[in-house]
């Protein structure tokens, strides 16, 4: 298959981890007889430096024509004191919005050789393998009005959703469960919120389209507890924007290694932006110390969700497991008796596998 990938390296360690990942994608293309072409564009702080805006028109136009987008990270101290509209993260929020990416997918999986770094006991977190599907365009973060009233004595935010926004994210979650273990936990606060009651209705309506998927509803406070007491219980979790923001950050510490977590923001036709959960790590940028595995695993998600290349995606994920089982690691991971290597060397090991 021919696929065109837009690479947005961004700032800090972004260029290092995306370059390393491109090497792995080239290996996959050669191995499976695909043709991947790459085009690189600026976003974030580097775009501010080169074009005077965090999201240049060229970048948006290229992303709109891409089959998949791979992003490093944006931001750093150099741009911290610029006015709001000139902040690097505006580039990221802007591109997600302009492309209509409404679903954020964050898988969390424990790696046996890293379980000692988890804040949870290995027997609690071991074997956990879950996916959080978070709605990205609606809810409290976007609803109007949002304002101070009565001389600053009162304040209002608005939690608004359309049925359409709920339906498309719920469908995405059912489809994600179908390619995993067919178990979906819908998280809401239906005992107090009207929006959550409508959310439950939508889930109930959609479930007959996916008879093989087992569905349950869980209140968000209960889900927050269960994530740390029994994370292995979950397969796919689907929830609205703010609950998803909080639960995905909670879930991200389960495995104890920020450098290992991939993410995707996608839309219905399959176009997606794939990026590591971590930031631009300015403290280690330019030293070839950055762990590229979160970005490599994000590229595996691109193959799975945008290109329908499940075998190739599995191949990348098992190569990452194999490299860790051989105890190769970057400086951010502590593996007893392991061999510490640079970020580019670690990526090369993945390609070899």
Residues 6+ away with beta carbon under 8 Å from 249: none
Closer residue to ligand NAI in complex, CB, 16/317: 16
Q: Edge-to-edge, what's the strand order for the sheet holding 214-219? A: 35-40, 2-10, 68-73, 272-276, 262-266, 103-109, 129-135, 236-239, 183-188, 214-219
Tokens of 83: 């006015």
332 has catalytic annotation? no
Which of 167, 234, 177 minimizes the C-alpha distance to 211?
Answer: 177
Interface with ligand NAI, residue 278, by CB under 6 A: yes
249 has catalytic annotation? yes
Interacting residues with Mg ion between 257 and 286 (CB under 5 A): none
328 membership: H or E segment, kind and range: strand 328-329
How far apart are the two ends of the chain, measured CA to CA in Å? 22
> Minimal distance in Å, beta carbon 108 to ligand NAI?
16
Q: Is 283 annotated as a binding residue?
A: yes
The span from the CA of 274 to the CA of 289, in Å, is 21
Stretch that binds Mg ion, among 60-68, 71-79, 246-254, 327-335 (CB under 5 A): 246-254
Interface with ligand NAI, residue 73, by CB under 6 A: yes
Query: Under a CB-based contact definition with an 8 Å cutoff, are residues 259 and 332 in contact?
Result: yes
Interacting residue with ligand NAI among 195, 299, 332, 346 (CB under 6 A) = 332
Interacting residue with Mg ion among 209, 249, 314, 352 (CB under 5 A) = 249
> Minimal distance in Å, beta carbon 72 to ligand NAI?
7
Interface with ligand NAI, residue 16, by CB under 6 A: no
Active-site choice (11, 67, 245, 332): 245
Q: Is 87 annotated as a binding residue?
A: yes
245 has catalytic annotation? yes
> Minimal distance in Å, beta carbon 313 to ligand NAI?
20
Interface with ligand NAI, residue 341, by CB under 6 A: no
Interface with ligand NAI, residue 228, by CB under 6 A: no
The span from the CA of 92 to the CA of 14, in Å, is 13
Distance of CA 105 to the CA centre of its chain: 5
Which of 23, 11, 19, 87 minimizes the C-alpha distance to 55?
Answer: 87
Interface with ligand NAI, residue 258, by CB under 6 A: yes
Stretch that binds ligand NAI, among 130-138, 150-158, 227-235, 281-289 (CB under 6 A): 281-289
Interacting residue with Mg ion among 165, 188, 240, 245 (CB under 5 A) = 245
> Minimal distance in Å, beta carbon 278 to ligand NAI?
3
Binds 245, which of Mg ion, ligand NAI, none (CB < 5 to 8 A, cut-off by type)? Mg ion
- For 178-209, letters b (16+ CB in 10 Å) and e give eebebbbbbbbbbeeeebbebbeebbeebbee
Query: Under a CB-based contact definition with an 8 Å cutoff, are residues 73 and 11 in contact?
Result: yes
Binds 332, which of ligand NAI, Mg ion, none (CB < 5 to 8 A, cut-off by type)? ligand NAI
The span from the CA of 134 to the CA of 173, in Å, is 9
221 has catalytic annotation? yes
The span from the CA of 154 to the CA of 166, in Å, is 30
- Provide the 10 A C-beta neighbour count for residue 274: 27
Active site residues: 141, 189, 221, 245, 249
Known binding residues for Mg(2+): 221, 245, 249
Annotated binding site for substrate: 96, 106, 134, 221
Annotated binding site for NAD(+): 76-89, 279-291
Chain residues that interact with ligand NAI, rule: CB under 6 A: 13, 17, 73-76, 92, 258-259, 275, 278-284, 290-291, 294, 330, 332
């Amino acid at each position: 298959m021919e696929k065109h990938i837009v690479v947005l390296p961004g700032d800090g360690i972004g260029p290092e981890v995306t370059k390393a990942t491109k090497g792995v994608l080239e290996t996959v293309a050669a191995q499976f007889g695909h043709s991947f072409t790459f085009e690189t564009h600026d976003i974030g702080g580097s775009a501010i430096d080169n074009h005077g805006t965090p999201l240049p028109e060229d970048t948006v136009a290229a992303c709109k024509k891409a089959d998949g987008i791979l992003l490093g990270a944006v931001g750093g101290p150099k741009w911290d004191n610029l006015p709001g509209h000139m902040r690097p993260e505006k580039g990221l929020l802007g591109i997600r919005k302009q492309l209509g990416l409404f679903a954020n997918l964050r898988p969390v999986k424990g790696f046996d050789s890293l379980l000692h770094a988890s804040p949870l006991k290995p027997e609690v977190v071991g074997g956990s393998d879950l996916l959080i599907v978070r709605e990205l365009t609606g809810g409290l973060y976007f609803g109007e009005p949002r304002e101070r009233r009565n001389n600053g004595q009162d304040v209002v935010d608005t939690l608004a959703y359309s049925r359409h926004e709920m339906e498309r994210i719920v469908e995405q979650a059912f489809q994600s469960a179908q390619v995993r273990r067919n178990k979906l936990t819908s998280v809401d606060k239906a005992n107090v919120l009207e929006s959550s009651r409508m959310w439950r209705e939508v889930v109930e309506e959609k479930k007959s389209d996916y008879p093989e998927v087992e569905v349950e509803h869980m209140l968000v406070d209960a889900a927050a507890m269960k994530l740390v007491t029994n994370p292995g219980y979950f397969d796919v979790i689907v929830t609205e924007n703010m609950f998803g923001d909080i639960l995905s950050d909670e879930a991200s510490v389960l495995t104890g290694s920020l450098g290992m977590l991939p993410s995707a923001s996608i839309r219905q036709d399959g176009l997606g932006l794939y990026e590591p959960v971590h930031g631009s790590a300015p403290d280690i940028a330019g030293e070839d110390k950055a762990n590229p595995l979160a970005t490599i695993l994000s590229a595996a998600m691109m193959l799975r969700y945008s290109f329908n290349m499940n075998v190739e995606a599995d191949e990348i994920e098992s190569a990452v497991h194999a490299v860790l089982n051989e105890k190769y690691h970057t400086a951010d991971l502590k593996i007893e008796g392991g061999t510490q290597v640079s970020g580019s060397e670690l990526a090369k090991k993945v390609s070899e596998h």
